[in-house]
């Protein structure tokens, strides 16, 4: 319940722009957010592994 409330609160426009906080649009995770892909690291990893993000390949060394 509280997670859903925080997701809805993050969607609203804050009174001051410094209060804005990035959240993953897929799962709502507030931490580990990647601005370049607009998602958290967990969702990024899953989608990259499935090949759904163009130009991203699994690295092997």
Bridge partners of residue 33, in order along the sequence: 40
Alpha helices, DSSP H, located in 1-54: 2-11, 41-50
Q: Is 40 annotated as a binding residue?
A: yes
Q: Is 5 annotated as a binding residue?
A: no
Cα–Cα dist 5/45, whole Å: 26
Tell me the binding residues for Zn(2+): 24, 27, 40, 43
Tell me the binding residues: 24, 27, 40, 43
């Amino acid at each position: 319940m509280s997670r859903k409330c925080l997701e809805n609160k993050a969607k609203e426009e804050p009174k001051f722009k410094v209060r804005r906080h990035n959240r993953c649009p897929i799962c709502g995770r507030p931490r580990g957010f990647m601005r370049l892909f607009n998602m958290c690291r967990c969702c990024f990893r899953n989608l990259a592994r499935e090949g759904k993000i163009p130009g991203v390949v699994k690295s092997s060394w």
